Structure 1
């Protein structure tokens, strides 16, 4: 028979457990309320300049006069000096960049430029997109921005099929540009180092391929129209690193992820910005896959030069001030 003292101890333990469960549930409810935006039945109203106005609480008064993409005229007719080397500037890479800009383009499609209010969604690669059935919702946005080698083919129900822009770097270019994109998709190169310019030049000009200088071998054959290629303005890398992550540039090797760059770009281009498929499993969760399309875990991020914890805080901050809204749990 259990003594009274033991009954009291068990009762206290049960009470503590009940409080912990209640706190966990209520905390989760608040968490979802703050960072989850239910899919609207109708298009959410779009107000010109709204995203920029809200984002200014973090970014300050950075100008929309900054071009999204690097332009030939800034390196040919009037040489624009850069204070930083890649990935935060173009210092030391100007001649190589000039050759790349001579065979690519920098324009934004008129179909986007002419919009009175631009509704954009940045589609991350996260596991949260699996079985989300967000495909039709994603395809209704004016601008759909995708990342790296994330596939569309075979995942249309969850991620849609429309791709306005795809940000990538050489090591992440292992996708078929024609299968995983639309004919008018802009392929936006994020240059982290001078060899990235060298790689795209050899691909587009069919020169001798470069095999060294990459942490992973990029494609040697890449069937793409040069006029689809754009070079991302390093300004956005600088802004993301400085304003969102508070990284001391040129002092540490950490850099923003392509996803955070895409959000930064979207806040510059768009009037309404939603995100989907962002967020990583908790650090203790060693088995949960991080992408919707492949079986890799958080362990693969080790040594990547990205601080996912700091980026999570930056995204939560943008969600809290309403600069962005989330279509999936974060």
Structure 2
């Protein structure tokens, strides 16, 4: 009994020195559990003859080695990610974010023209931006296409409209050696963007349809150089949402669009039929502000960017959105082109609003004749080649 007691005492005394931590202590005691007397001494002796690292710490060694391997793998993955990020940084910035909209980017004359050649092929800046009356007298080569890609069959209506509107570009813009332009889309990504001050610094600010400015200046700015619209999207107050010198640019999709603007500007009997949505019947606008966009740009957007046929069955009638049309116009008119507020929610995200100013969803686009997926690919192509840069996430 005394010998057995002595063995237990020795074990309890020697265990801390041979297995100094909790893991080691469990290892030592498990090897002598239930042994007394000489058996305990033999077990203890065999334990002491072996090194503590080998007899007491096998589990700890395994854990340490596993941690080292895991740490090495994570380090390798991190290095690869850093390298990839650096190697693709320019493309990442071009596709998603423009780094510093507060800083005025240098404007290189002809830069947009050189890059847009990759998109449009036989690129030309000689096309007039707006239609003018003199081009429809004694025309030897009439337009090959009907609206919206040409004016074939609508010349008589167009002549009356051109007689009461203008085609000039403000001298302050026309005289610029290098034009810095931003096309402000209507997308929900502009909401809470705080881009208003940056947008106001561009030489030319192009807006779309009935997108409001009043109340949203902090996100979308207050300057408007051109506003592209069509009759069904003209539900805005021209004097409240625009500046006195803003150019209101009619995008004609059909002959009735010419008829509508003529009745508004000449105060004739209003047209109520022939529209997919009733346009305004009263529109307080100065005729000198109104311009008629050259259908050439709609043709280029459809043909070169979306590969749409110019001759389509009447029941299909696919066509570019006003936003893609505005970017196409900017690439023919400007030397530096930035965009903001473009991109639609994913198709499965049915609750996400598509505009920064109203609560409508992608469902409202059904039956519009716009292929938003195809347009997204076209814009990504522009971003990839650097023809345009993005102020918001796309």
The question of a shared fold, defined as TM-score above 0.5 by the shorter chain, is answered with yes
Q: Distance in 1 between matches of 2:201 and 2:193?
A: 16
Deviates more, 1:145-154 or 1:72-81: 72-81
Q: CA separation of 1:287/1:9 partners in 2, compared to 1, >3 Å: closer, same or farther?
A: farther
Q: Secondary structure at the match of 2:367?
A: coil
Q: Is the 8 A contact 1:35 1:320 kept in 2?
A: no
The structure with higher relative contact order (CA 8 Å, sep 6+) is: 1
Q: CA separation of 1:39/1:24 partners in 2, compared to 1, >3 Å: closer, same or farther?
A: closer
Q: CA separation of 1:31/1:290 partners in 2, compared to 1, >3 Å: closer, same or farther?
A: farther
Measured against aligned partners, the alpha-carbon deviations of 1:87-112 in whole angstroms (never above 9, x if no partner) come to 00000000000000000000111000
Deviates more, 1:6-15 or 1:271-280: 6-15
Question: Offset at 1:34?
Answer: 3.0
Q: Distance in 1 between matches of 2:111 and 2:193?
A: 27
Measured against aligned partners, the alpha-carbon deviations of 1:116-173 in whole angstroms (never above 9, x if no partner) come to 1000000000000000000000000000000000000000000000000000000000
Q: CA separation of 1:93/1:33 partners in 2, compared to 1, >3 Å: closer, same or farther?
A: closer
Q: Is the 8 A contact 2:147 2:253 kept in 1?
A: yes
Q: Distance in 2 between matches of 1:16 and 1:288?
A: 35
Question: Offset at 1:253?
Answer: 1.1
Q: CA separation of 1:91/1:286 partners in 2, compared to 1, >3 Å: closer, same or farther?
A: same
Question: Offset at 1:248?
Answer: 1.2
Question: Offset at 1:21?
Answer: 17
Measured against aligned partners, the alpha-carbon deviations of 1:283-303 in whole angstroms (never above 9, x if no partner) come to 000110000000000010010
Unaligned runs of 5+ in 1: none
Q: Is the 8 A contact 2:116 2:123 kept in 1?
A: no
Q: Is the 8 A contact 2:102 2:198 kept in 1?
A: no
Question: Offset at 1:22?
Answer: 15
Q: Is the 8 A contact 1:67 1:233 kept in 2?
A: yes
Q: Distance in 2 between matches of 1:17 and 1:45?
A: 35
Matched, 1:299 2:363: yes
Q: CA separation of 1:15/1:238 partners in 2, compared to 1, >3 Å: closer, same or farther?
A: same
Q: Is the 8 A contact 1:168 1:187 kept in 2?
A: yes
Q: Is the 8 A contact 2:94 2:383 kept in 1?
A: no
Q: Distance in 2 between matches of 1:10 and 1:42?
A: 41
Question: Where does residue 117 of structure 2 map in the other structure?
Answer: 56
Higher helix share: 2
Q: CA separation of 1:14/1:212 partners in 2, compared to 1, >3 Å: closer, same or farther?
A: farther
TM-score normalized by structure 1? 0.90
Number of residue pairs matched by the alignment: 330
Question: Offset at 1:83?
Answer: 0.4
Q: CA separation of 1:16/1:298 partners in 2, compared to 1, >3 Å: closer, same or farther?
A: farther
Measured against aligned partners, the alpha-carbon deviations of 1:294-315 in whole angstroms (never above 9, x if no partner) come to 0000010010000000000000
Q: Is the 8 A contact 1:148 1:169 kept in 2?
A: yes
Deviates more, 1:13-22 or 1:197-206: 13-22
Question: Offset at 1:78?
Answer: 3.9
Q: Distance in 1 between matches of 2:344 and 2:88?
A: 19
Q: CA separation of 1:93/1:208 partners in 2, compared to 1, >3 Å: closer, same or farther?
A: same
Q: Is the 8 A contact 1:32 1:329 kept in 2?
A: no
CA RMSD after TM alignment: 4.0
Question: Offset at 1:38?
Answer: 1.8
Q: Which of structures 1 and 2 has the bigger CA Rg?
A: 2
Q: CA separation of 1:5/1:62 partners in 2, compared to 1, >3 Å: closer, same or farther?
A: closer
Q: Is the 8 A contact 1:236 1:261 kept in 2?
A: yes
TM-score normalized by structure 2? 0.76
Q: Distance in 1 between matches of 2:74 and 2:253?
A: 54
Q: CA separation of 1:220/1:26 partners in 2, compared to 1, >3 Å: closer, same or farther?
A: farther
1:219 paired residue among 280, 284, 292: 280
Question: Where does residue 204 of structure 1 map in the other structure?
Answer: 265
Q: CA separation of 1:4/1:182 partners in 2, compared to 1, >3 Å: closer, same or farther?
A: same
Q: Distance in 1 between matches of 2:272 and 2:334?
A: 37
Q: Is the 8 A contact 1:72 1:102 kept in 2?
A: yes
Measured against aligned partners, the alpha-carbon deviations of 1:38-91 in whole angstroms (never above 9, x if no partner) come to 234421010111001101001012211100001100113546501000000000
Deviates more, 1:52-61 or 1:11-20: 11-20
The runs of 4+ residues in structure 1 deviating greater than 2 Å are 1-35, 39-42, 76-80
Question: Where does residue 346 of structure 2 map in the other structure?
Answer: 282
Q: Distance in 2 between matches of 1:221 and 1:59?
A: 39
2:377 paired residue among 284, 289, 313: 313
Deviates more, 1:163-172 or 1:15-24: 15-24
Measured against aligned partners, the alpha-carbon deviations of 1:179-233 in whole angstroms (never above 9, x if no partner) come to 0000000000000000000000000000000000000000000000001000000
